Amino acid sequence: MVLDFLTLSIVILLNAITMAIVWGLIWWSHRAFGAARIWMAACLTSAVGGLVLSLEAIAPVTTNVIGNGFVFFGFCLFWVGVRQIYGDRLPWLESIAITVVSLAILIAFSTVYPSGPARNAVYAIGQSVPLAFAIYDLTRPDRRSPGSLLAAAAMLIAILVHAVETGANFMHSAGAMTQFHYDVIETMVILLVIFSGVVWNFGMIVMAIDHLRAELTVLTYRDELTGIGNRRLLLERLAAEQAQRKRKPLALLMFDLDNFKAINDDHGHAAGDACLRRVAELASAHLRPGDLLTRLGGDEFCALLPGADVKEAARIAARLVAACREMNVDWASGTISLSLSIGVAEASPANPQSGVDLMEAADQALYTVKRQGRDGYAVAARLHPRKQAELSSASTGINGAPALDAL
């Protein structure tokens, strides 16, 4: 089967416009998703290139150079979009260089040293180089996913069929292949390139879905003000840790900022927000790797400490109280002094508790600190009798008392 060039050009044009519409709709729905905008531009640029190439009968050399210039840059834009979705530096200079160099060589083989096979090789290389770079970025070990591997595989097919077509062109020029067989190969190659383009766009749509789902997950579990986890994340982690409590302890710190309402009243809500962010930063700096810090709402925070027993949790609580006591927030209305009240609770094989019970125990310990004057920590009373006796003289550190000497 041999299709005429005009028919193939129309198919390429319609395919590119269709994919541009798809990416345009994705971008319209998710304006912050820059890769969709770039891939839409890639499809539109390739469509313009195909439209110009279809006018070859008017001015063969001019339309060939201009049309392929758009195609080269359109393929580069697919690579730029891949880099964009992964947050890498965008290769604009490299894309311009690939396009300019390819066009310069194409012009040379169209005017100074006319050669059909050489021009054909330039077409293939100018389109394959950005695809090869995109394949590298898509298949890096930390980025492999069904969508990225599908897109990379389709791009590899496009590179391979370009190589086959280039070889066939040289064979035809050398008289080793008949015109009919070359036309058949040319038709199949163009159809395979169109097919591969559809497939790699589909792979990138899967990547876009994964990316947007990941962003939604982050928004679902992140506190917007402080950037740390939220109540939903804490509850899910508590549930996930349920099985582990049979083998290792789990500690929970529940704490809030003392006199937070007074801060808002005296300095304004913007100052209160700034203080909450500073507390989140302070707590993040003093927790261990693997600990989970969350904001429950208002000025109330929780820190989940997997594997920590009550003594270790109390040490961390004491360090947080001391560090916050030394931290001030400079504001236009004056310096704001901060302090924390922290409740400590533990679940362990010897002291099993559900997530709800653990939070309740930490909350009761927090209110113990509040009743005794704030600016300190307290360990929950719901402990194994022997462990409670060990901590009885050191379970509360209020207003700077050296409560950790016995721990």
Q: Measure CA of the first residue to CA of the last residue in the chain; give whole Å.
A: 85
Q: What is the DSSP string of 154-170?
A: HHHHHHHHHHHHHHHHH
Q: For position 310, which CATH number holds?
A: 3.30.70.270
Q: Minimum mean pLDDT among 45-59, 75-89, 102-116, 316-330: which range? A: 45-59
Mean pLDDT for all residues in the chain: 86
pLDDT of residue 383: 45
pLDDT band at 19 (very low <50, low <70, confident <90, very high): very high
* 234 and 360 share one domain: yes
Say if residue 43 is in the same domain as residue 171. yes
289 domain residue, yes or no = yes
Q: Which residue has the tokens 């040319």?
A: 186
pLDDT given at position 407: 37
Same domain, 212 and 246: no
Confidence of residue 388 (pLDDT cuts 50, 70, 90): very low
Residue 347: beta bridge partners?
Answer: 250
pLDDT, residue 78, reads: 97
Mean pLDDT of 374-393: 61
Which domain CATH number covers 141?
A: 1.20.1070
Rounded to 5°, the CA angle 16-92-102 comes to 70
Nearest to 201 by CA among 328, 405, 24: 24
Q: Are residues 235 and 209 in the same domain?
A: no
Secondary structure (DSSP) of 354-388: -HHHHHHHHHHHHHHHHHTTSSEEEE-S-S-HHHH
164 in the same domain as 25: yes
Same domain for 109 and 212, yes or no, is: yes
Could you tell me if 169 and 139 lie in one domain? yes
The reported pTM is 0.70
pLDDT value of residue 320? 95
- Kindly state whether residues 199 and 237 are assigned to the same domain: no
Give the pLDDT of residue 2.
Answer: 52
Gap between the Cα atoms of 352 and 239, Å rounded: 13
Q: Are residues 46 and 73 in the same domain?
A: yes
Tens digits of residue pLDDT in 337-353 = 999 999 999 988 777 77
- 158 and 257 together in one domain: no
Instruction: Say if residue 137 is in the same domain as residue 285.
Output: no
> Over pLDDT 90: what percentage of the chain?
57
User: What average pLDDT score do residues 186-207 get?
Assistant: 89
On whether residue 172 sits in a domain, the answer given is yes
> Final residue of a domain: which of 203, 221, 239?
221
- Is there a domain that residue 197 lies in? yes
Q: Choose among 319, 321, 316: nearest CA to 292.
A: 316
Residue 344 near residue 364, CB atoms below 8 Å: no
Residue where a domain terminates, one of 221, 239, 255: 221
189 in a domain, yes or no? yes
Residue 393 is predicted with a pLDDT of 40
Q: Domain count for the chain, please give it.
A: 2
- Indicate whether 192 and 290 sit together in one domain: no
Query: What's the domain range around 112?
Result: 5-221
Q: Select from 165, 196, 221 the last residue of a domain.
A: 221
Residue 59 in tokens: 């001015």
Any domain includes 383: yes
Domain-embedded: residue 404: no
In contact, 185 and 3? CB cutoff 8 Å: no
Write down the pLDDT at residue 251.
92
